[in-house]
Structures are given as C-alpha cells and as structure tokens.
Amino acid sequence: MDVVINGQKRSLRDGMTLRDLVIELELEGKPIAVEVNREVVPKTRFAATALRDGDRLEVVSLVGGG
C-alpha cells in the first residue's frame, strides 16, 4: 500500500500497523506525535491502528523555537 508521510509518498507492506511503522522509522519511545488523516493517534493506540492505502500521516517531534 502507498501512504504519504510528512508529504512524502512511501510504500508499506500490507497489514502494517502504526506501531510497525514507528518501529521501522526507528522512532519507538521517542517524543513524537502522529496524525493519521488529521486525527492525532495516542501512543497507546499505535498497535491497534491499521494503516490503509492512501492514508496521510504527519509524524512530528520537537525542535528549538521561541
């Protein structure tokens, strides 16, 4: 399936959960937050969130700012 993460197209294997993706991106346990189709998904729901073809994800963290 194809999804868009942070504006970039990415092919994922079918049946992947959000938790699988976060592990693949080496972001497990990091201070991140994820939106799937504009809805924030709490970390506790990552494993139960199946990704679907066409999903649009935002994966954010914190940077220096004022």
Which of 14, 62 has the CB closer to another protein?
62
Q: Minimum Å distance from CB 19 to another protein?
A: 15
Structure tokens at 8: 């970039």
Cβ neighbours of residue 55 under 8 Å, at least 6 residues apart?
A: 3, 4, 36, 37
Q: How far is CA 24 from the centre of its chain?
A: 10
Amino acid, single-letter form, for residue 13: R
Looking at residues 23 to 52 of the shown chain, list those that interact with another protein (rule: CB under 8 A).
25-27, 30-35, 38, 40, 42-43
Contact positions vs another protein (CB under 8 A): 5-8, 25-27, 30-35, 38, 40, 42-43, 58-66
